[in-house]
Structure 1
Amino acid sequence: MDLIKLSAITSTNSYLKEMCTQTQLKDATVVWAQAQTEGRGQRGSTWQSEPGKSLTFSVLKRFHNLSTTEHILINMATSLGVAKALDKLKIPKVAIKWPNDIMSYDKKLCGILIENQLKGKLLSSSIIGIGLNVNNVEFDNLPQAGSLFTITGKNYELEEVLELMVRCILEELEKLEISSHDELKTGYEARLFRKDEISVFEREDGTLLNGIIRGVNREGNLCVELEDESLAEFSLKEVKLRY
């Protein structure tokens, strides 16, 4: 990988996107910021990071034969890559909270934001932003947040964790154009947080429903078995898991 290490910027995704417009960056270019002031997450949320204790970085991945309709596979592969890296660090109970929050037990350790660049009917590249809590101990009004340190009690070298993360993510992304997508979907579903457990979900209008996560469909929507045993499919904007 080509690593660009910066001190402080607003967003690694925005920086990498701007760099792509100015020059032809190599595949697997990584931008790592020691401090990120305007990190973003899913649903327009922000990602808090603590300089010297968090990892905030973005990876540029180029593709050659991936259809725009297969964009969800990038999310699945990235999520699996992060999960497998945490496995190697011996973090317990690693799971993926749909669509791409990475958990240990019931604590969120990592958020992912993916922005795709299109060329006709193909995905030409993706900018994959990762925010990972590593040695953090304080979280501002975020009771569901955790870090590698709070889970294991160990301090970690940020650059070593970064290198492992990038390697595992790229290994999964490299498989997208050469291996079975069904195999990827199966691996992703096996990691789903609270899969096959009765859970509470919140709709856009604030109403609640009970259901059991059974998997995802080919579009990446969440498949939930409802109380009447019917199977409903929800997009990211339609429902939120409460836990």
Structure 2
Amino acid sequence: MYIIKLDAIGSTNAYLKELTLTSIPQDYTVVVSEHQTNGRGQMGTKWETEAGKNLTVSVFKKISKLNIQEQFYISMCVSLAITETLRKFQIKQLRIKWPNDILSANKKICGILIENIIKNNYMVGSIIGIGLNINQKFFNDLSQASSLSLLTGIIYSKEEILSEILKQIQFYFDLLESGKKSFIKNKYENQLFRMNKPSTFKLNNDETLSGIIKGIDNVGKLIIWTEDEIFRTFDLKEIKLLY
């Protein structure tokens, strides 16, 4: 494992992506920064973080045994690695909000940005960006955000948490590479936020939809049993859970 530590960077994901333009980095190359000035979330959203308080890290993982249609397994592995890590630090009520936000007590504490590298229709690697709120105390107007310290009153060691996250990421990717896809998918679905509970969603045309999350399909789309008793699947850009 090769770890690059930076004081400040626009985006750890962008830093790793630039490295891949010349050659494929070493497996489990890690970039961690004390301050990220231009962090990104899903669908181009901005990830804001207070300097020195949180974990902003990106990991390069070589991918050789997944086809393009199976790339959501990467997201599942990382989500499970984060929740497993946080359980070891006694964080309660952990859930994965599809596709890969990590919640505790309905508050978002971690965001994950997966950027896969595909060449000649084959996956060769994945850049895994993780923003974990650890010791930050104030989130301005972000009412649904929280941090480990706010949840428990404890000041945490970022290095200790990063070490455990990297350990768990390796564990889950080892499972994936050994063919344990059904195990990973079942464990992911068992931790989905609002699984099997009546919920309200907003569609990309601004209409609302009532239904029950029943899991994900084989490519990671969300399966919802609607009030019309019809199973429908949705991609990330098509639906948003309201909570």
Whole-Å Cα distance in 2 between the matches of residues 201 and 223 of structure 1?
A: 12
Cα deviations by residue, 1:58-102 (Å, 9 ceiling, x for unpaired): 000002222111111101111111111111111001110000000
Secondary structure of the corresponding residue to residue 237 of structure 1: helix
Q: Any gaps of 5 or more consecutive residues in structure 2?
A: none
Matched with 2:146 is 146
The amino acid across from 1:127 in the alignment is: I
The amino acid across from 2:3 in the alignment is: L
Cα deviations by residue, 1:177-226 (Å, 9 ceiling, x for unpaired): 21221111101100100111111100112111111111000011101111
Cα distance, 1:23 vs structure 2:
4.7
Whole-Å Cα distance in 2 between the matches of residues 102 and 87 of structure 1?
A: 12
The percentage of aligned residue pairs carrying the same residue is 45
Whole-Å Cα distance in 1 between the matches of residues 64 and 229 of structure 2?
A: 41
Whole-Å Cα distance in 1 between the matches of residues 94 and 189 of structure 2?
A: 13
Q: Any gaps of 5 or more consecutive residues in structure 1?
A: none
The amino acid across from 2:241 in the alignment is: L
Whole-Å Cα distance in 1 between the matches of residues 28 and 235 of structure 2?
A: 29
* Residues 94-243 of structure 1: pairs in structure 2 closer than 5 A: 94-243=94-243
Cα distance, 1:237 vs structure 2:
0.8
Matched with 1:48 is 48
Secondary structure of the corresponding residue to residue 112 of structure 2: strand
The amino acid across from 1:6 in the alignment is: L
Q: Contact 1:134–1:147 (CA<8 Å) still a contact in 2? A: yes
Q: Which runs of 4+ in 1 moved over 6 A?
A: none
Cα deviations by residue, 1:3-57 (Å, 9 ceiling, x for unpaired): 1000011000000111222455210010001000000001211101111111100
Which deviates the most, 227-236 or 90-99?
A: 227-236
The amino acid across from 2:99 in the alignment is: P
* Residues 17-56 of structure 1: pairs in structure 2 closer than 5 A: 17-56=17-56
The amino acid across from 2:158 in the alignment is: L
Whole-Å Cα distance in 2 between the matches of residues 10 and 226 of structure 1?
A: 41
Q: Aligned residues, how many?
A: 243
Whole-Å Cα distance in 2 between the matches of residues 27 and 118 of structure 1?
A: 16
Whole-Å Cα distance in 2 between the matches of residues 216 and 193 of structure 1?
A: 12
The amino acid across from 2:72 in the alignment is: I
Q: Contact 1:65–1:122 (CA<8 Å) still a contact in 2? A: no
| Superposition CA RMSD, Å | 1.1
Whole-Å Cα distance in 2 between the matches of residues 30 and 94 of structure 1?
A: 25
TM-score, length-scaled by structure 1: 0.97
Whole-Å Cα distance in 1 between the matches of residues 185 and 24 of structure 2?
A: 32
